[in-house]
Amino acid sequence: MTDDTFRLTPLDVRSHDFAVAWRGYDRAQVDEFKQRVAAELDQALRDRVQAEERLKSVTDQLRVYRERERALNEALLAAQQLRADAQAQAERERELVRREAEREASRIVDGARVEEQLVRERTEAAMRQFTAYVAAFRLLLERQLAEVEALQVAARGTEKVARELAGATERAGGGGGGGAA
């Protein structure tokens, strides 16, 4: 069959019913396959529409480019006819434009160098600030660690004093309590 005589749509696939036979195919599998085929057909049709739209766009662009090319060819012919009279003027203008372009290029390069130096200086300043920040943060952490260690030492000392007091209380209580009984 040719493409012109038979067109299958996703709706055709989804709505087509097969005759039921005694030893026929599994209906769920057929339905699942129909859905997959319909989805693929949907995607193919969308792709085709997109491709046709792209083709139309490219064709339009090609037409515009051809028109431009034709106009450029006409302008080129006219320019060739006037070339003999305007050649000296064009040479002077070319030299003027070249010099101007060199000056502009030099200005742009000088500006880029200044910008590069500024970026380098800012980067170095940022690195110095970062290094200073890390050093200050390290110093803060070391101070905090020293305070934690001091608190641990103080806690150990308090714990030792509490044990000594408890021991003294037991000794004092044990001797006083035995005499009263």
Q: What is the per-residue pLDDT for 80? A: 82
Q: Which two tokens stand for residue 98?
A: 């070249």
Q: What are the extents of the domains in the chain?
A: 10-137
Indicate if the alpha-carbon torsion angle 46, 47, 48, 54 is positive or negative: positive
pLDDT for 91-118, tens place per residue?
888 899 999 999 999 999 999 999 999 9
**CB distance 25 to 18 below 8 Å:** yes
pLDDT for 39-63, tens place per residue?
888 898 899 999 999 999 999 999 9
